Chains A and B, each alone.
Chain A
């Protein structure tokens, strides 16, 4: 068995088991950490496909930033007793959910089967990317030349989000406002 296949089997097993654990774990923190496992396994899969930058970004952004956010929210909500409302949901709801999931799965399988043997089209082939200096270089050049307007606009979006959060979160600052 060659190394690639072995690594793929390990990473995909971790990903599948991790995803199942995310749903089955009763404690939100345990579920969140199972999700970290899934993200790590995904990063491994990306690296296997040769997308090293995506793998690194996956760990930095998802495992680093987004998971910290998840854990913070869980801590802030501090939900002590685990909620298990699936048992109380109606049979119709369960049936519709299962049908929806099966439909989505069928769609994905069909997409994978259709795409078998297809090769990506486009001007950027693997060799060309290497000759132009690699993914990191291409993406950073793209961000700061062609897409600099998107980039700057997005920073103002984030700035607006930060100011909005502060404005709405500091409730005590209001004095003598209208009484509801």
Chain B
């Protein structure tokens, strides 16, 4: 078990490209660079939020780490091994330590299995618990831990509400005693009062079990509330990363600033009404040359369309922007 704050997973220079095929022979005519050189770390007992707008590649990062899609290159170090190098039979035991919870739990819960089977499925495949009776007890304990009635283990998933299904998804992930959970828009489909229940549950579990969370979301209110660190993605790349409070207080990349300004204010004394970013997000199949944000950036200058900025130290982390280049002035 890693001590709190120790990296549980280290992702380096991850690239996941999807081929664009055309013609009779389905030849590859181009690539969608969904993830294009992403590096990040998630620490034990901590939450890293991966945020960005639709199509920025945040979900593909999560899926690549679990090898639900095959990355093209990069390294994912977890439990001392590079997950991307492992043959399937060696990858399987590591999957126990690395679980995922999805946005729509109904799509990830087999509708024909009773809750007891759903929750204990992973235990059986990883040899947790010695007999069925012991597993039943463990399922009951897990259900009460996620605040569901243990007697409900004989029900089917369709008998549950959205929030209850998300609790089931969490119970199922916890059943195999993971070290890290990838949560992909795990609370996005829920009503706000139910969302609050699930967010509180997730932070309790983290504190209790020392879990590392990679929290993938587009909801910046949720990010600010629960994450320790934030990585902001734009067209396949992380453009800024830093500690949550510092990043929200003083964003160092123009995209992060635009994103934060665009969030509707929930403070009735203040409406944001800030100048919105113009235009649309470019396609990852045809990213703009140079800095990928230069087509929408209010602070763009000549160099931005020519050269691609590296990640420069900025604030409590890094920003991929020439304005943050050492010696750039501001």
Partners in one complex: no
